[in-house]
Chains A and B, each alone.
Chain A
Amino acid sequence: MSETSLTGSHTRTPLALRFPSVLIFLAVLGLFTLGVTILSEGFGIGVISTSFVKTLGKTLCLCLVALAMDLVWGYCGILSLGHMAFFGLGGYAIGMWLMYERTRLIVVDSLVASELPPTAQEISDGIATQIFGVVGASEFPPVWAFAHSLPIQLAFVVLIPGLFALIFGWLAFRSRVTGVYLSILTQAMTLALSLYLFQNDSGLRGNNGLSGLQNLPSLDAVPQATVSLWFFWGSAFALGAGYLLCAWIVSGKFGSVIRAIRDDEARVRFLGYPVDAFKLFIFTLTAVIAGIAGALYYPQAGIINPTEIAPIASIYLAVWVAIGGRGRLYGAVIGAAFVSLLSTWFTGGQAPDINLGFYTIQWVNWWTVLLGLSFVAVTLFAPKGLGGLVDLIVDRTSPNRHGADLGPDPGALREKEAEK
Chain B
Amino acid sequence: MSTLLEVSGVSVSFDGFKAINNLSFQIGTQELRAVIGPNGAGKTTFMDIITGKTRPDEGRISYGEKGLSLLSMSESRIAQAGIGRKFQRPTVFEDQSVADNLMMALRKARGPLSVLMFRPTAADHGRIAELAGEIGLSRKLHSKSGELSHGQKQWLEIGMLLAQEPRLLLVDEPAAGMTPAEREHTTDILREAARTRAVVVVEHDMEFVRRLGCKVTVLHEGSVLAEGSIDHVTQNERVIDVYLGR
Query: Which B residue's beta carbon lies closest to that of A279?
Result: B112
A257 at the interface (CB under 8 A from B): yes
Q: How large is the interface on A (under 10, 10 to 19, 20 to 34, 35 or more residues)?
A: 35 or more
- Is the beta-carbon distance between B152 and A407 smaller than 8 angstroms? yes
Question: Is A390 in the interface zone, CB < 8 Å from B?
Answer: no
When C-beta atoms are compared, the residue in chain B nearest to A260 turns out to be B93
Inside 8 A of A412's CB, which chain B residues have their CB?
A: 94, 146-147
Interface residue A175 (Cβ < 8 Å from any Cβ of B): no
- Which of B93, B110, B113 has the most CB atoms of chain A within a 10 A radius of its CB? B93
Contact, CB under 8 Å: B147 / A413: yes
Q: Which residues of the other chain, B, contact A253 by a CB distance below 8 angstroms?
A: 103-104, 115, 118, 120
Let me know if B6 is at the binding interface, CB within 8 A. Answer: no
CB distance from B84 to the nearest CB of A (A): 8
- CB pair B104–A271 under 8 Å, yes or no, is yes
For the complex formed, measure the closest distance between the CB of A139 and the CB atoms of chain B, giving whole angstroms.
Answer: 43
Q: B233 to chain A: which residues have CB within 8 Å?
A: none
Q: Mark B76-106, 1 if CB is under 8 A from A, else 0.
A: 1101100011010001011110001001110
B149 lies within 8 A of A271 (CB): no
Asked if B210 is at the interface of the complex by the 8 Å CB criterion, the answer is: no
Would you call A122 an interface residue if the criterion is a C-beta within 8 Å of the partner chain's C-beta atoms? no
Contact of B149 among A6, A12, A263, A406 (CB under 8 A): A406
Q: Chain B 151-176, CB within 8 Å of chain A: the 1/0 string? A: 11100000010001000000000000
Q: Which residues of B contact A272 (CB under 8 A)?
A: 76-77, 79-80, 110, 164
- A414 CB to closest chain B CB (Å) equals 7
Report B-chain residues with C-beta under 8 Å of the C-beta of A281. 112-113
- Dominant SS at the A interface? helix
For A256-296 the 0/1 string (1 means CB < 8 A from B) is 11011001101101111111011001000000000000000
Residues of chain B within 8 A of A19, CB atoms compared: none
Say how far A384's CB is from chain B's closest CB, in angstroms: 13
In the bound complex, residues from chain A placing their C-beta under 8 Å from that of B111 are: 274, 277
Residues on B with beta carbons closer than 8 Å to the beta carbon of A10: 120, 122, 125
A267 to chain B minimum Cβ distance, whole angstroms, is 5
For the complex, is B142 an interface residue (Cβ under 8 Å from A)?
Answer: yes
State A401–B151 Cα separation when bound (angstroms): 19
B226 at the binding interface (Cβ < 8 Å): no
Contact A271 B164 (CB under 8 A): yes
Q: Which residues of A contact B139 (CB under 8 A)?
A: 6
Chain A, Cβ-Cβ closest to B181: A408
**Is A356 an interface residue, CB under 8 A from the partner?**
no
Given contacts A263-B95, A269-B76, A271-B164, is CB(A411)–CB(B146) below 8 Å?
yes
* A278-B109 Cα distance, complex, nearest whole Å: 13
Q: List which A1-57 residues lie within 8 A (CB) of chain B.
A: 1, 5-6, 10, 12
Complex: how many Å from CA A412 to CA B150?
8
Q: Which residues of A contact B113 (CB under 8 A)?
A: 281
Task: Give chain B residues whose Cβ lies under 8 Å from the Cβ of A274.
Answer: 74, 76-77, 110-112
Distance in angstroms between the alpha carbons of A12 and B110 in the assembled complex: 22
**Interface residue A399 (Cβ < 8 Å from any Cβ of B):** yes
Contacts of B151 in A (CB 8 A): 407-409
Docked-complex contact B141 and A413, CB < 8 angstroms: no
Write out the residue numbers on chain B whose beta carbons fall within 8 Å of the beta carbon of A267: 87, 91, 93
- Looking across the interface, which residue of chain B has its beta carbon closest to that of A262? B95
Return B123 CB to nearest CB of chain A, in Å: 10
A73 to chain B, nearest CB (A): 15
A252: Cβ under 8 A from any B Cβ: yes
Contact B143 A399 (CB under 8 A): yes
Q: Among the interface residues B95, B111, B115, which one has the most CB atoms of the partner chain A within 10 A?
A: B115
CB distance from B124 to the nearest CB of A (A): 9
**What 0/1 pattern do residues 18 to 52 of B give for CB contact below 8 A with A?**
00000000000000000000000000000000010
Instruction: Given A260-B96, A263-B95, A271-B104, answer yes or no on A411-B112 (Cβ-Cβ < 8 Å).
Output: no
A249 at the interface (CB under 8 A from B): yes
- From the candidates A256, A278, A414, name the one contacting B147 in the complex (CB within 8 A): A414
Which of A249, A271, A414 is packed against the most chain B CB atoms within 10 Å?
Answer: A271
A410 touches B (CB below 8 Å): yes
Inter-chain contact A273/B87, CB cutoff 8 Å: no
B54 in the interface (beta carbon within 8 A): no
Once bound together, how far apart are the Cα atoms of A264 and B160, in whole Å? 15
| B221 contacts across to A, CB distance below 8 A | none
Residues of B with C-beta under 8 A to A249:
116
B115 touching A270, Cβ below 8 Å: no
Taken together as a complex, chains A and B put the C-alpha atoms of A409 and B181 apart, in Å, by: 13
> B149–A260 contact, CB under 8 A?
no
A254 beta carbon closer than 8 Å to chain B: yes
Q: Which of B53, B112, B141 has the most CB of A within 10 A?
A: B112
The 8 Å CB contact of B142, one of A1, A271, A406, is A1
Contact A1 B143, beta carbon cutoff 8 Å: yes
CB–CB B112/A278 < 8 A: yes
With known contacts A1-B142, A260-B96, A252–B116 Cβ distance under 8 A = yes
Residues of A within 8 A of B55 (CB): none
A252→B143 contact, CB < 8 A: no
Provide the residues of chain A in CB contact with B110, threshold 8 Å. Answer: 272-274
The residue on A at minimum CB distance from B113 is A281
Contact in complex: A259, B95 (CB < 8 Å):
yes
- Which residues on A sit within 8 Å (CB–CB) of B133? none
5 interchain pairs, CB-CB under 8 A = A249-B116, A252-B119, A256-B100, A399-B143, A411-B152
Residues of A within 8 A of B (CB): 1, 5-6, 10, 12, 249, 252-254, 256-257, 259-260, 263-264, 266-267, 269-275, 277-278, 281, 399, 401, 406-414
Give B contacts to A, CB under 8 Å.
Answer: 51, 53, 74-77, 79-80, 84-85, 87, 91, 93-96, 100, 103-105, 110-113, 115-116, 118-120, 122, 125, 138-139, 141-144, 146-153, 160, 164, 177, 179, 182
9 closest A-B pairs by CB: A407-B149, A272-B79, A409-B149, A269-B75, A272-B80, A10-B125, A281-B112, A413-B147, A409-B150
